[in-house]
Amino acid sequence: MSESMNQQILLKSYPTGAPTRSNFALVETAIPQPRDGEVLNRTIYLSLDPYMRGRMSDRESYATPAELGKVMVGSTVSQVMKSKHPQFSEGDFVVGYDGWQAYGISKGESLRKLDPNQVPISYALGITGMPGMTAYFSLLDIGQPKAGETVVVSAASGAAGSVVGQIAKIKGCRAVGVVGSDQKCDYIVNELGFDACINRKTQDLNSALKAACPNGIDVYVDHTAGPILEAVLQQINLGARIPLVGLISQYNAEKLPTGPNLMPLLVKRALIKGFLVGDYQERHAEFIHDVSQWLQAGKLKYKEDVVKGLEAAPDAFMGLFQGQNFGKLIVQVGDNPTEH
């Protein structure tokens, strides 16, 4: 890429089933110039998240679809290069929503300054950002775990799941994770302190859950739906809580699967409650306070899976649906001056 050019990945078409490279187009355009009230950001990190699959569709949803022919949407950590906005100065590090591109113009809405001395700036896309906040509130607000209870989480080594399990431990619970490889199991048990782990690809979910949760399941933070939810429902305790946070097993489905047997929900008077992180914006300070303290005290660990170069974004994004990411998936689009 020439120094004076912007690199962008446009959404060319909506996928049918799993996304492919042909849904994206890499283009070079002139670096835009900020007008009054705007800033020019240089992207350092781009977040890749499962929700993006939902935006790549004209299907009815809680959020508006990403527009065809436009820069693909996404959260970014950037450095302000030029500012004509009173609240931002050249050199500031910010988290915003500039999408899949090397430079973006922002009017300052939804742009937040980052202090690189607190935690690495990339964390704002993960543990101190949207996925961390999702984990914190889905578990604590809906799951309401009590010491001694058993908390199960799927996609447990990922951006949200890894935080759910660690907060469950902080709250004195037994934490059990479901993941897609032995390496991920080893990581969540031996590095993050989960009590047990199940490999969804090699183990029988019903018997493995039974063995890992001898006292049944009190809280299940569901990131996947599908067979894991189905198996968990067979082991839930009276009054279990199930924050329904994600259904990644269905995001690429062309035909929705027939539903699991929900009878155990009725029999056990369990609760499945929908969750949207956006509903918790007013409680952002509470989340940041706790998570920052836990990070500083070493009670929370965080793993990033960093792929290099904007051009690697489509393949990395597709890999989310194969479990190829190991930790919070982000793209390093430009140099990070805070890294020593």
Q: Determine which residue in the list 65, 216, 264, 323 makes contact with ligand NAP, applying CB under 6 A.
A: 323
The reply on whether position 50 binds ligand NAP by CB under 6 A is: yes
Q: State yes or no: residue 173 binds ligand NAP (CB under 6 A).
A: no
The one segment of 7-15, 65-73, 141-149, 245-253 that binds ligand NAP by CB under 6 A: 245-253
Inter-residue contact 169 to 163 (CB < 8 Å): no
| Residue 63 sits in the site that holds ligand NAP (CB under 6 A) | no
Q: What share of the chain is helix, strand, coil (3-state, %, to 5)?
A: 30, 25, 45
282-311 residues near ligand NAP, rule: CB under 6 A? none
The answer to whether residue 169 forms part of the interface with ligand NAP (CB under 6 A) is no
Strands (E), the chain: 5-11, 24-30, 39-47, 76-83, 93-96, 103-106, 112-114, 150-154, 174-179, 196-199, 217-221, 236-244, 271-274, 304-308, 328-332
15 touching ligand NAP, by CB under 6 A: no
Neighbours of 171 (CB within 10 A): 19
Nearer to ligand NAP, 31 or 307 (CB): 307
Local structure of residue 36 (DSSP, 8 states): T
Encoded one letter per residue, x for contact with ligand NAP by CB under 6 A and - for no contact, window 180-219 reads x---x---------------x-------------------
- Interaxial angle between packed helices 161-170 and 130-137, expressed in degrees from 0 to 180 and rounded to the nearest 10: 40
Tell me how far, at minimum, the Cβ of 306 lies from ligand NAP, in Å. 13
Which residues have CB under 8 Å from 255's CB, separation 6+? none
- Chain contacts with ligand NAP (rule: CB under 6 A): 49-51, 130-131, 134, 155, 157-161, 179-180, 184, 200, 223-224, 226, 245-246, 248-249, 275-277, 320-321, 323, 325, 328
